[in-house]
Homo-oligomer: A and B are copies of this chain.
Amino acid sequence: MARVLNGADDGVLFAEDGWSLDVIGDEPAREGWAATILALSNGALGVRGAIEERAEASTFLAHAYEQAPIHYHEKLKGFATTSDSRVPVAESLGIDVRIDGEAIDFTQLRSATRRTLDLRAGMLRRETRWSFPDGRLLRIFGERIVPLDGSTLLLRRLRAEFDGEGVVTLHPRLAPAPSGATQSDDPRIGVNLASRGFETEQASDELVVERLPGSGIGVAAVQRSREEDGWLLVATGYAAGRDASQTLVADAGALAGTALTDGFEAATAAQRVLLDTFWAGADLTITGEPRLAATLRANLFHLFASAGRDGRSSAAAKGLTGEGYEGHYFWDTEAFMLPVLSVLAPDIARAMLVYRAGTLEAAFANARALDHKRGALYAWRTIEGRECSAHYPSGSAQYHINAAIAFAIGTYVDATGDEGFLAEHGVRMLVETARIWLALGDWAEGRFHLRGVTGPDEYTALIDDNWYTNRMAQKHLRLAVSAADRVAAIDPEAWGWLAAEMELGAAELAEFTRTADGMHLPYDAARGLDAQDASFLDKPRWDVAGTPASEFPLLLHYHPMTLYRHQVSKQADIVLAMVLGGEEVSAERKRRVFDHYEPITTHDSTLSASTFAILANEVGHEAQALDFFAETSLVDIDDRHGNTGHGVHMAALAGSWLALVWGFAGFRPYGPQLRFRPTRPADWQGYSFGLTWRGTLVRVEVAGDQITYSAVSGPEIVIGHHDTEIRLAAGAHWTGALGC
């Protein structure tokens, strides 16, 4: 690598072309972080970027998770009874290195490692120089890919060079899964297995069969190797599920065997084709800020790689790059990740929504557990669909997850025009989840109220009329009605059957509309300020600026009740509401919201910065917009929250793209029209990005005070530029002034 974009020797070094990143060194203190940002995944399998000689707990499967009873000291009615926990599976990376047949004890050697994650090749390359006390040098080279077609396969090749006497040989070996993490006092980790983890049924260097006693999920791992072009080629196939072990072994063995036969070059070529397609749409630049642009590429790479694409999985808070948050799926998958994937990888976005469709039965059960006789309420945190939250004030009380899923359905259909999804899955999901708002809320003095809920901002809990929740519920109810109308128009007969099955009539849809129209959005007239909830503005303000740096994140230093009784936000959700649902709010009101809530927001959630970047830009706070943009972009590359070792922050990675496209380029997810209200920070000379909208690949390039919209391929498209409409056929472009 000829030149790097920054000179730091303890962080990431990007290649000059911005398409690969290097990590130099393998110090234990940084290794958790390094293994996360160098992870490879494909939505089904994730392998952390550890070096083989030291790897442990590096391999995750989307479908390998334990289910264990949640133990409460005081258990109340309706509490979640079991939790899913994604745990590492049989270790794929292990090797023994032998000199004349004798295994090397690497703990006695000094090492120097360079690892390179190639974002276009989807490959991790590594070289480690091991120094013996007597000066001999052993170099180990490796290359690995996890195929982005979604196969549960790790393919890698290894070779060694030795300047001493003796023959060096490499011996890959599978190892049974490590035991799971124990209870952590950091709720951002939170793995707390009652079970003892995997039970091993068979174990050799080439075959591990193991099963989780709680969930009954078995995993087979088969490892095969051969010499190829001077390398040792190693293929590790996995299969996970509740099938019989022999079936799993056969499936895993087939994957490993085929991959071994096809060889490394075939796999890397296929990988390159998939990534070329992705980057054709997703590539972006920031003129004069190449490191930021390269960081955003790395962020998109992880988002794309870790998202589930099989219709039975989604994108966890940490993807498949670590054990954080038990591998659970939350609302931010839909609120942050899906709007990006809907325009950069629509097939994956669809598959993730299909996963939610498949857990609708669990959402019915969850609604019943929370005493709602009708409708569906998605679990706050889950893998298989059941509620896994053991602290309802910041868990099950977050009813807004229903609205986030509705929002994602709407955004996906707006971006793709995929009305087939609406008919097949979406309208049922929208209606059943919308019903919860009616079951939850009540009318008082002509307004509709949602009480005793928690918004995304977990520093406030169990409050009435959370602005975000109410606004998103309002949009959700309207979307359910319009989706029903749309599906009824497309296929009246099928709709008739579906509506009958749902016991849905015109009266209920009218009630949806009446409820949306009556939804209360709290506003403090005396202060001229939208209120985050009914009581928020009454509370004393937390002195965020005067709080010592050592006390952040506040959640690790203060009892939740202390936070709840102050005006203090982990991520002010009213600011998010102004982005996702601010289309009827004036710029002046938004500015007042930003100016009131920003000083009391700690940004202890990595979700916060991107939203603040977007609204800061809208209300004209350019310097803050740039700061927040950097914050969300660099969250993992620079380990800004100190916990990247537990896995990447998927929503923040997605948020960095949102901060660019929704923030500086002024896109908003407010309907089927692609529209931008672009700006350019004075510090930047320009920027560019791409996306796919209703089948048309569009590229947007800002250069100085000009903007160019190009329709690269696909159907003719109408693009809104501020309040102007531009019609472009494939191959055409339009250039004009950036401002309105």
Q: List the interface of chain A (C-beta within 8 A of B).
A: 70-79, 83, 183-185, 187, 190, 192, 369-371, 389-393, 395-397, 440, 442, 444, 449, 451-452, 461-462, 464, 534-535, 538-540, 555-562, 564-565
Shortest beta-carbon distance, A575 to chain B, in Å?
A: 22
Q: Which of B77, B187, B561 contacts A452 (CB 8 A)?
A: B561
User: Known: A534-B535, A535-B535. Is A561-B75 also a contact (CB below 8 A)?
Assistant: no
A559 touches B390 (CB 8 A): no
Q: How distant is the Cα of A185 from the Cα of B77 in the complex, in angstroms?
A: 8
State the copy count for this chain.
2
Shortest beta-carbon distance, A365 to chain B, in Å?
A: 13
Kindly report which residue of chain B lies nearest to residue A445, judged by CB atoms. Answer: B538
Shortest beta-carbon distance, A538 to chain B, in Å?
A: 6
Q: Which of B78, B395, B442 contacts A558 (CB 8 A)?
A: B78
Q: Specify the main secondary structure of chain A where it touches its partner.
A: loop
B73 touches A555 (CB 8 A): no
Q: How distant is the Cα of A1 from the Cα of B564 in the complex, in angstroms?
A: 61
A462 touches B564 (CB 8 A): yes
B564 touches A187 (CB 8 A): no
A538 touches B187 (CB 8 A): no
25 example contacts (A-B, Cβ-Cβ < 8 A) are as follows A71-B73, A72-B390, A73-B83, A73-B190, A73-B192, A73-B390, A73-B391, A74-B192, A75-B183, A76-B391, A76-B559, A77-B555, A77-B560, A78-B560, A78-B562, A370-B561, A371-B562, A392-B559, A444-B540, A452-B561, A452-B565, A462-B561, A464-B535, A534-B535, A535-B535
Q: How distant is the Cα of A557 from the Cα of B370 in the complex, in angstroms?
A: 10
Q: Which of B71, B451, B462 contacts A461 (CB 8 A)?
A: B462
Q: How distant is the Cα of A539 from the Cα of B450 in the complex, in angstroms?
A: 10
B539 touches A442 (CB 8 A): yes
Q: In the complex, which residues of chain B have a beta carbon less than 8 angstroms from the beta carbon of A392?
A: 559-561
Q: How distant is the Cα of A185 from the Cα of B75 in the complex, in angstroms?
A: 6
B70 touches A73 (CB 8 A): yes
B462 touches A370 (CB 8 A): no
B70 touches A558 (CB 8 A): no
Kindly report which residue of chain B lies nearest to residue A559, judged by CB atoms. Answer: B78
Shortest beta-carbon distance, A460 to chain B, in Å?
A: 10
B389 touches A74 (CB 8 A): yes
Q: How distant is the Cα of A461 from the Cα of B185 in the complex, in angstroms?
A: 25
Q: How distant is the Cα of A397 from the Cα of B562 in the complex, in angstroms?
A: 10
User: Known: A561-B462, A565-B452. Is A187-B539 also a contact (CB below 8 A)?
Assistant: no
Q: In the complex, which residues of chain B have a beta carbon less than 8 angstroms from the beta carbon of A77?
A: 555-560
A370 touches B535 (CB 8 A): no
Kindly report which residue of chain B lies nearest to residue A541, judged by CB atoms. Answer: B442
Q: How distant is the Cα of A77 from the Cα of B391 in the complex, in angstroms?
A: 13
A74 touches B190 (CB 8 A): yes
Kindly report which residue of chain B lies nearest to residue A390, judged by CB atoms. Answer: B73
A393 touches B393 (CB 8 A): yes
Q: In the complex, which residues of chain B have a beta carbon less than 8 angstroms from the beta carbon of A371?
A: 558-559, 562
Kindly report which residue of chain B lies nearest to residue A556, judged by CB atoms. Answer: B77
Identify which of A391, A452, A557 gathers the most chain B CB atoms within 10 Å of its CB.
A452
Q: In the complex, which residues of chain B have a beta carbon less than 8 angstroms from the beta carbon of A452?
A: 561, 564-565
Q: How distant is the Cα of A74 from the Cα of B452 in the complex, in angstroms?
A: 20
